[in-house]
Amino acid sequence: MAPAPPAPGTLSGVLIAESLRVGSELSGVPLQVTAIQRIAVDDATADQPRHWTLLHFRAPENAAGQLAEALASCLAPTGGWYVDYSTTTEAYVVFADRVFRYARGDAATRAEVEAYARSVGVPEAQLDWRD
């Protein structure tokens, strides 16, 4: 199930529950969970479980920066985890302690983010965020 395209004034994305650091808390950001999905993963790394819980979400577009900073402090630093979401004009890709934000469709910046993702252990098959 792919996330629905964001409506004007909103953002939408997917958070993998297993990507959160133990003991972390994501709070203070007005998220609305739109779907919860449990999947088997064929291309999980050695540091990732074989089953993931996907939390499809949306939030007000004006919360995009706040959400990115909150997620960057909650994601596990090992395992090649990230969260991606987008507004109608921008894509966000968030890693532990690192946030990327770029105009949707900007292939050069996306390539930079993909290179960073590979450097932190994201497998090629998981470089599938929508921008």
- 52, containing H or E segment: strand 51-60
Distance of alpha carbon 112 from alpha carbon 40, whole angstroms: 29
> What pLDDT is recorded for position 105?
93
In sequence order, the β-bridge partners of residue 13 are 57, 85
Say if residues 50 and 44 touch (Cβ distance below 8 Å). Answer: yes
> What pLDDT is recorded for position 45?
87
Per-residue pLDDT of the chain (131 residues; tens, 9 = 90+): 455 567 789 999 999 999 999 999 999 999 999 999 999 999 888 889 999 999 999 999 999 999 999 999 999 999 999 999 999 999 999 999 999 999 999 999 999 999 999 999 999 999 999 88
pLDDT in tens, 96-126: 999 999 999 999 999 999 999 999 999 999 9
